[in-house]
């Protein structure tokens, strides 16, 4: 997750005056039985972070394959060349997922594993890998939730047309999506077009910290932080809209599936809850992170605060495009991890986000400088989505926390203890339950992540997994205490004791 700064300028009130908070004694119990009957529990992953086999099986290079081989851009100079080797170990990992008593697996397709050049010739060996993964999931009654794009643009398209900066990418993406629907649509009923456009547009084209590493010079060799994130996001939203339109016209009725998009957002708390200015700034940050992608999908255009603040740097939709984008979802995925304060710098007048108030953090600190433990932010953010977009169907498609690598001289049993993660999942899932009580239409929850894995710019220096991966011992998987916790809370009444 990457957060970059934008300024909105329109006052819209925070919509929580009517939210009823409950006492500690009334908080819901976090167990399967507390959730709606058909609520889906799963774990989330991404192809580049998991699969490895970067140059095996006919796969083409992605921008991440190229980016991670630049010295110094990834902590420890690690890469996803091997990652956690799920390409070879998918059967084991599917079994591990099942052993958690989960219902579904959210994973992404590697575009260059299917189309090594982005378009044209199909790599059938890569197709067979996903055939086998989906087969194993269905054999164990685990539902596949497939993300079409989780940041691994084919390098060939980056080189030939400029990737997301080119309007031609829309046609290339829809061709790729069509193949996926044709091949796996009869067996896959839940599709997500994009994961976190905000993150790959921001970190890839604003700060340059992620692939393809573009931002304004001199920090980056090429790019324009003032314009490119918005161009990239615009083309991705159009790719989403055209893909959804195609799916609905050609596949939805016969395949009986649904399609949506996943967006990410922190919750923004006014630094001074009584300050109208801080309330306005918090609202603008929400509009500039989450509304940037969901407003077009629900209303047909970007938030007015973004339009006023960015002017001509923010692209416009034609009337035809606006009509296509509006309504292009059967559900929305929300990735949420952390919360921030929003206020105004008294010296510069600039809107700022910060995790600290009077030197005190907004919540528990973690190894990641952007992740603070604020469980109530989950309920508030889901409530904001419910209020602003008139109660859409929501899946929490990512939520979790990291821990630092522990001293490897410690006994393995001690390295597997993760009480902070258990508490995080408990408290955030409890707030999902409270959001459901607030009448948000939430249908599922996916933990990030099944295994410790390659975490983008920070490599393997932090661990988000429910299962521990021993990077020095053939990537062996071991259940952390949080794995046993999930096994217990997700038991079905008909399950036999483990």
How far apart CA 78 and CA 461 sit, in angstroms, is: 10
Residue 427's alpha-carbon distances to 99, 247, 424, in angstroms, are 22, 37, 5
Residue 398 annotated as catalytic: yes
β partners of residue 360: 357
How far apart CA 429 and CA 30 sit, in angstroms, is: 7
DSSP letter string over 177-206? HHHHHHHHTTT--EEEEEE-HHHHHHHHHT
How far apart CA 485 and CA 492 sit, in angstroms, is: 14
DSSP letter string over 370-405? T-EE-THHHHHHHHHHHHHTTS-EEEEEE----EEP
Q: Which residue has the tokens 């193949």?
A: 179
β partners of residue 441: 393
Catalytic residue, from 269, 321, 398, 455: name it: 398
Cis bond before residue 449 (omega within 30° of 0): yes
Q: Which residue has the tokens 């099942």?
A: 98
Catalytic residue, from 196, 209, 287, 403: name it: 196
| Two structure tokens written together for 471 | 């990077």
How far apart CA 320 and CA 341 sit, in angstroms, is: 38
Residue 284 annotated as catalytic: no
How far apart CA 266 and CA 361 sit, in angstroms, is: 15
How far apart CA 44 and CA 399 sit, in angstroms, is: 9
Closest C-alpha among 475, 477, 478 to residue 82: 475
Q: Is residue 3 classed as helix, strand or coil in its secondary structure?
A: coil
Which stretch of DSSP H or E encloses residue 442? strand 441-447
Number of residues assigned to the chain = 498
How far apart CA 350 and CA 277 sit, in angstroms, is: 12
User: Distance from CA of residue 321 to its chain's centroid?
Assistant: 25
**Catalytically annotated residues:** 196, 398
């Amino acid at each position: 997750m990457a957060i970059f700064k934008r300024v909105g300028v329109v006052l819209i009130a925070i919509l929580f005056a009517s939210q009823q908070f409950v006492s500690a004694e009334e908080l819901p119990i976090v167990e399967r039985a507390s959730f709606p009957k058909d609520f889906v529990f799963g774990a989330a992953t991404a192809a580049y972070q998991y699969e490895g086999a970067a140059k095996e099986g006919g796969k083409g290079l992605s921008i991440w394959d190229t980016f991670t081989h630049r010295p110094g851009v990834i902590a420890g100079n690690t890469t996803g060349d091997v990652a956690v080797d799920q390409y070879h170990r998918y059967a084991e990992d599917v079994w591990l997922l099942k052993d958690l008593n989960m219902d579904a697996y959210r994973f992404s397709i590697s575009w260059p594993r299917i189309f090594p050049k982005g378009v044209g010739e199909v790599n059938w060996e890569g197709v067979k890998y996903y055939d086998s993964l989906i087969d194993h999931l269905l054999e164990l009654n685990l539902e596949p939730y497939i993300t079409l794009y989780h940041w691994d643009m084919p390098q060939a398209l980056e080189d030939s047309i400029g990737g997301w900066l080119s309007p031609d990418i829309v046609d290339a993406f829809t061709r790729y999506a069509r193949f996926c629907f044709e091949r796996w649509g009869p067996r896959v009923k839940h599709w997500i077009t994009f994961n976190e456009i905000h993150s790959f547009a921001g970190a890839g084209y604003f700060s340059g910290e992620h692939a393809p590493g573009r931002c304004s010079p001199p920090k980056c060799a090429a790019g324009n932080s003032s314009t490119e994130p918005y161009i990239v996001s615009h083309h991705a939203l159009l790719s989403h809209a055209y893909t959804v339109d195609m799916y609905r016209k050609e596949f939805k009725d016969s395949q009986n599936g649904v399609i949506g998009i996943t967006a990410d957002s922190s919750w923004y708390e006014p630094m001074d809850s009584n300050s109208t200015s801080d309330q306005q700034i918090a609202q603008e940050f929400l509009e500039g992170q989450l509304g940037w992608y969901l407003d077009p999908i629900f209303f047909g255009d970007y938030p007015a605060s973004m339009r006023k603040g960015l002017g001509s740097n923010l692209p416009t939709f034609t009337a035809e495009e606006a009509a296509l984008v509006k309504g292009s979802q059967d559900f929305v995925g929300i990735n949420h991890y952390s919360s921030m304060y929003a206020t105004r710098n008294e010296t510069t007048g600039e809107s700022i986000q910060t995790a600290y108030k009077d030197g005190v953090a907004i919540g528990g600190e973690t190894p990641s400088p952007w992740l603070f433990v604020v469980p109530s932010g989950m309920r508030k953010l889901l409530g904001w989505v419910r209020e602003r977009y008139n109660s859409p169907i929501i899946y929490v498609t990512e939520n979790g926390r990291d821990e630092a690598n522990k001293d490897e001289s410690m006994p393995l049993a001690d390295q597997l203890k993760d009480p902070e993660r258990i508490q995080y999942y408990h408290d955030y899932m409890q707030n999902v339950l409270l959001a459901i009580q607030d009448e948000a239409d939430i249908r599922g929850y996916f933990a990030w992540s099944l295994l410790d894995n390659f975490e983008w710019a920070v490599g393997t220096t932090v661990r988000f997994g429910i299962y521990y991966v021993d990077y020095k011992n053939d990537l062996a998987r071991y259940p952390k205490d949080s794995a046993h916790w999930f096994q217990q809370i997700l038991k079905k009444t008909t399950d036999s004791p483990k």
